[in-house]
């Protein structure tokens, strides 16, 4: 038995070393499966909870066109959640179980979705910064060693790219608008900047899963490296908008070409992750209510599917 496991482990290691894909039917170490379920579920939950801050503005979008775009974006996020729950299910954990873990607070979702959306400019800042950070983090996941997750990420990243552009376009419109609109854009940047750069997770020195998951080809870059790439890409965009990044210590390091940033308030980050952010209770409460309110829809869909399956079996007999 132990010899069998050794051979399976060896085969798994070979696939990982060759930068090949692990597929659902392949043998994998329990810890690899566990960390994938954790990360993919957390990602799926983030997509689903992430619909709330923007959903808040669907009825107040400033034009029909903006409303249609925002509706499409929010629907995309629901779709991302579905692909990701599907990917997690290939690892043997049913979606109901994952949702239970979210609703009971046993699984996390991204810290970024625990902040309020106070003005229309927040729709711009979320698309530009939050989806921008998501793309930076998620493009490397298209090369993740676990096949179903990697394939789900390809489509997700294409859609996130559209989301980022629509957000930047909102910011550009406001930045070229009246002084009041410009101030609104600056205020949104002021509130979303630090939470956005916290999205990448704790510094590498405090990352629990980082090293192992990089060895397994799940992560391709550390949290700090991705954060730096995001800052380097975003500072020139803020300049173009004529907006100021709310970090008095931000400066270009001529030698490396990187923007050096000021201290990040990790105490605040962990507080939000632990459930004490401005909107944690509201977000989870809304999610649980939506799930409970949708019970009859799931029951009706299941009853219909069972009836169809029974009819198909009878027809085939
Ligand atoms: N919010 C909440 N928890 C976070 C976090 C964040 N921004 N960053 C890290 N954490 C948690 C980790 O989950 C881990 O806790 P756990 O052991 O209970 O799961 C702990 O902090 C330590 O962090 P690590 O660095 O060890 O964790 P990871 O190696 O998993 O790295 C990550 C964290 C970079 C977020 C990684 O999990 C990842 O790349 N996940 C996939 C992408 C994802 O989930 N994105 C959500 C963003 S929002 C989104 O995609 C929606 C889009 O529409 C904008």
Q: Is the pLDDT of residue 3 over 80?
A: no
Percent of the chain with pLDDT strictly greater than 90:
98
What is the rounded average pLDDT for all residues in the chain? Answer: 97
Q: Write out pLDDT tens, residues 124-157.
A: 999 999 999 999 999 999 999 999 999 999 999 9
Mutate to test the pocket of ligand 1, among 37, 145, 198, 209 (most ligand atoms within 8 A of CB): 209
Ligand 1: nearest atom to the Cα of 107 = 18
| Pocket lining: 196 vs ligand 1, CB cutoff 6 Å | no
- pLDDT bracket for residue 168 (50, 70, 90): very high
Task: Check: CB of residue 128 under 8 Å from CB of residue 168.
Answer: yes
What's the pTM value of the predicted model, to 2 decimals?
0.95
Task: Please tell me if the CB atom of residue 38 comes closer than 6 angstroms to any atom of ligand 1.
Answer: yes
Cβ-Cβ contacts under 8 Å for 165 (sequence gap 6 or more): 127
- What Rg do the C-alpha atoms of the chain give, in angstroms? 21
Here the tokens at position 32 are 């690899």
Q: What is the pLDDT of residue 2?
A: 74
Check pLDDT > 90 for residue 188: yes
How many angstroms separate the alpha carbon of residue 162 from the centre of ligand 1?
22
Q: What is the pLDDT of residues 256-265, one digit of tens each?
A: 999 999 999 9
Structure tokens at 125: 């800042």
């Amino acid at each position: 038995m132990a010899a069998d496991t050794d051979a399976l482990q060896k085969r798994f290691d070979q696939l990982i070393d060759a930068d090949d894909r692990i597929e659902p039917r392949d043998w994998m170490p329990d810890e690899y499966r566990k960390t994938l379920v954790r990360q993919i579920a957390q990602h799926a939950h983030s997509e689903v909870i992430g619909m709330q801050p923007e959903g808040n503005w669907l009825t107040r979008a400033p034009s029909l066109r903006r409303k249609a775009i925002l509706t499409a974006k929010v629907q995309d996020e629901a779709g991302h959640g579905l692909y990701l729950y599907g990917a997690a299910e290939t690892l043997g954990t049913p979606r109901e179980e994952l949702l239970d873990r979210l609703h009971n607070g046993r699984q996390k979702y991204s810290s970024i979705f625990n902040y309020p959306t106070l003005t229309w400019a927040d729709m711009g800042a979320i698309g530009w910064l939050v989806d921008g950070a998501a793309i930076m983090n998620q493009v490397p996941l298209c090369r993740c060693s676990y096949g179903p997750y990697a394939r789900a990420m390809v489509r997700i990243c294409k859609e996130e790219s559209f989301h980022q552009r629509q957000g930047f376009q909102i910011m550009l419109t406001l930045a070229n608008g009246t002084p009041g609109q410009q101030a609104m854009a600056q205020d949104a940047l002021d509130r979303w900047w630090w939470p956005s750069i916290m999205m990448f997770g704790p510094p590498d020195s405090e990352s629990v899963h980082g090293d192992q998951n990089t060895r397994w080809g799940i992560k391709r870059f550390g949290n700090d490296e991705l954060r730096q790439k995001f800052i380097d890409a975003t500072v020139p965009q803020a300049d173009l908008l004529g907006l100021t990044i709310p970090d008095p210590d931000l400066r270009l390091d001529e030698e490396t070409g990187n923007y050096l940033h000021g201290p990040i308030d990790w105490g605040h980050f962990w507080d939000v992750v632990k459930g004490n952010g401005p909107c944690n209770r509201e977000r989870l409460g809304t999610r649980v209510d939506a799930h409970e309110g949708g019970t009859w829809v799931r029951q009706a869909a299941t009853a219909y599917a069972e009836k169809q399956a029974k009819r198909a079996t009878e027809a085939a007999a």
